[in-house]
Structures are given as C-alpha cells and as structure tokens.
Structure 1
Amino acid sequence: MSTYIVGDIQGCLQELKLLLSKVQFNPNIDTLWVAGDLVARGPESLQTLRFIKSLGDSAKVVLGNHDLHLLAVSLGIHKVKEKDKTAPILLAEDKQDLLDWLRHQPLLAEHSDFVLSHAGIYPLWDLNTSRSLAKEIETILQGEHWQQLIRDMYANQPIIWSSNLTGIERHRFIINAFTRMRYCDQQGRLDMANKLSPEQLDDNPLIPWFDLPQRVPLEKTAIFGHWAALMGLTTEHVIGLDTGCVWGNHMTILRWEDQCYFEQAALTEA
C-alpha cells in the first residue's frame, strides 16, 4: 500500500503508464497523487483525462493552470491553441463528463504528511489559510456560477495578498497563487512573467516563493509541479516534481513512504 506523487503529466500518458508499471502501481491498494496540468502540450490529453478519471478514488488530483485553461476553452472564452493538443477533448463523446469531473477537482489536496498544489503555497499563508482559500475557489468552481469565475480569472493583478481583497480580485489572486506562482519579491508580490530557473536570474531581485525569508512555516511538506525549469527540487520542507517530460526531459514519480524517486525519459517532445 503505497502513495505515489507525480509532477505535470501534460498529456504524456505513455510515460506515466511506463512509470506506473515500473513501480508496480496497483490501484486497488495504492494511491496516485497528481500535481495538476493533466492536459496540454503532450500527445494524449484526452486519454490522460480518461485514464486518471478511471482510477476513481485511487487518484488524488489538483488543478493546474492548463486544466483551468481547458475549461475556459470549452466555454469559448479562448480558442484552442494548436500547441496545446486539447482539441480532441472538445470533440469527444464523453467531453461533458470529463470536463465536469475536472472542475470538481480541488486546488489543494492534503495528506497526513504533505500538501499538494500545482504551483505551491503562497509564502505568506499558513496552512489553515491555504485550506480555507482553496475551498473558497473550489466551492465556486463546483457551483452554478463557475463559468463567470473562469471568464474573469485572466489577469496578473492583484500581485500581493490582502485579506481585504474581495470579489474577482480576491478569487484571481488565489487562483494565480495556487496555479501560476513561481517568483515573488521581498514583500511577497508575485511576478507572473519570469519562468527561468533561479540559477539563470543573475542579479534579478526576484525570489522563488519557497525561499522568501518571511515565508510562513507549514506543518507539512509542500509538494508542487508547474516549474519545469527547476528540473526537480528537494529540500527539507518543499518538493518540486515537474521535470519537464513534455519538453523532452523526463517524468518523475515520488514514492512517499521511502522517499524513492523514479524517472521515465520522454518518448516525444512538444
């Protein structure tokens, strides 16, 4: 009975299946935690959604920015980008079932030892605040007014959290923090533009969210995906699992119980 955690799949289903075979994943007794971005640039986004959905309670999924974008595309808010390779989802007979299942996934999933979100935990939030704010968005996404939230979520503002934020500004910040965050400045203002690795920043004053000096300690390890340029990250309290499979690198799974990592080289490149 094992707990497996995987970084961004992005439609790279064959690599995921090879990894699951390598670790002898058994959905009857094991659990697969997925760090968001099930879909997008890889060749099998439709099949990935079907496969993860078919695992039922054996899969624990959090939403990533590409998953939310798929919902926006399904509403006609944005057109399908050819590079995203998600058009087959919108033509599938089970399209509605898959999209309904997707929007009922959380932004934050919690294990007794760790918390999982796509981009991480905003460094000025404690765990109780993170739980509450994630639930706030999840309730809207799973309710009757979810389409308006998806329509209004596209912007980089506001860039810093305040408990006084209301309406779409509040909701947008929460979504951006859980699904798009990488860097912030010394005051905790998010920077959405920079996707480089910390080693490539040179004299840039930006700080990875997990290195902010005044970051609020969490009682659990924070595990995330999203940031392929990190090519994996393991510290005492933070683990990044996106190792850029869709960009021709490899996919990584962590078995939590013995902290063993498994890799599968990419079969194709987006």
Structure 2
Amino acid sequence: MAPLEDLAAFAAVARHGGFRGAARATGTSASRLSEALRRLEARLGVRLMHRTTRSIRPTEAGARLLARLRPALDDLDQALDAVNAARDKPAGRLRLNVPISAARLVLPRIVPPFLEAYPDIELEVVAEDRFVDVLAEGFDAGIRYGERLEGDMVAVPIGPRTQRFAAAASRAYLEQHGRPRHPRDLLRHACLRGRFSSGFAPPWEFVRAGESVKPEVRGPLVVGLGGAVDLAVDAAIAGTGIVYLFEDWLQPFFSRGELEPVLPAWWPSFSGPFLYYAGRRQLPAPLRAFVDFVKQQAAGDEGVA
C-alpha cells in the first residue's frame, strides 16, 4: 500500500496544477512534494503526471487514481475535523485570502480577539488585489464584496455593513486650485488614480439625490490598488492632487487635519464585505470557529447599536 502522505501529495499537486501552488496550500516545500510524487510513481510502477516546463497534469492512470482518491481523502479530512471539533479548543491552520482594504479596515478588529480566544489556531492571511479561486489556491475562505461572490459559496457578513468611498485633498492643494463644488469640477483637477493588477481602473463615482456622476478624471499619478495605495495618500497630503479611497482608510488623515474632505455630500455608499467559503457538510474546525466568531461579533455589534 502506498503511504498516505505520498497519495495526499499527489492529490495536492493535481488540485493546484503544480508543485508551487500545492506547496503554498499544504505548508510544505515543492521539492518535498516532487520527491513524494516520484516515490509514489516508483512504488506503483506507472507515471501519474505529465510534466513540462510550463505545466503538470495527470496522465490517464493518474486521472483514474485521482477520481477514486479524492473522496477517500475528503472523508479522512472530515474524520479528522470531527475529532478536532471535539477538542476543548479547535486547533490547526486557517488560511484566508482577502483584499488589502479588508486586511487594513476589517480584520484588525477581529484577528486579535479571535487568536486570543483560540490560541491553538494558526491564522495565515494573504492580502492581494487579484481575485482568486480560494479553493483552487488552497485557502479555506476569503473576504470579498457582493459583486465578487461565486454563486455556490456560503457568504457571511463581516465588518461594517455599509461603507463609503471618499475624495480628499490637502488644504494647500485646495487653496491653490479651488474646492470642487460638483463632481464635474474634478475634470479640471489633478486626480490620483488607482488600477488593479488586471489593468482595470475603477471609476470615480459620486451620488446625490438620485443623480450619479462618473467623471473621467485624469492626473499625474496612477498607483496599483494594493501596496501602492499609501503612495497616493502621501502624494495627496503633499499637495499633488485629489485622492479617492475608502472613507475609513482616509479618516485618520481627516482627524489629524492632513487631508480635507472633497465633495462629502456626493460620497457613495456600498454594502460591506462578506466572509465566503465552500458549502461543505462539515467545515474544518478552525474555519468553523472563525465563522462562529464573526457571527457572534456581528450580533454583538447589532446589540450595541
């Protein structure tokens, strides 16, 4: 009988389409997974994977083995999860994929008390601006906004239920260039814009009394909507132009007087984010603990309100 570890390594490599993705998902090294696959193929006397410099995919024999193997591994995972759930404190690793905005604005209120309540859980958070298949990339759950939720996923509200986008600039900039009175006035201003790694540049939208305006703004700076967002904020503070971002992101700069609100009566509201995950009969114990914690925190916030 082939060792279970080697079988699990084969299934992980097939699921994630390569050694690197499988290594990230399983918390091991690509070389260790490669050795496990070679060991399994030698033991069975058959090639299980077609390997090229660009891809790796199951052979016909590998696909047949995988079809029978996946249900068995799922049953094993559920059995281990059931044992874990019976512990006084759930243990194990929980991997989340979240937007950078959620890592900055949503998780700081949740993560510290969650880890204090569950000291045996290791939480791994990957924050990025690209939208990924959380299951294919080895994550247990993700945080997304409603328009990005897959239809077959379970969604649980997390964080503020209503948020706003806000425009802001330094007092020096506004005194030199004038304060916009209508969103169309932004066409005459230097606007500091953002773009996702996919190339999509979200429009600046303003809403008031049923009127929606999306001016095609221009400006001297475009930043990646990820790690470079703070550069746009710093540039706005320095007087380079007007920035458009989450109100919660900009609030500390408003409070310190480093930035002034621009067109606040026009700031649009939108629904808050969701924690989403695959609907399974039994969730892994760390994920179940996190989901329950998020629900309890949301109920507590409603009670306070």
Common topology (TM > 0.5)? no
Structure with greater strand share of residues: 2
What TM-score, normalized by structure 2, do the two folds share? 0.24
Structure with greater helix share of residues: 2
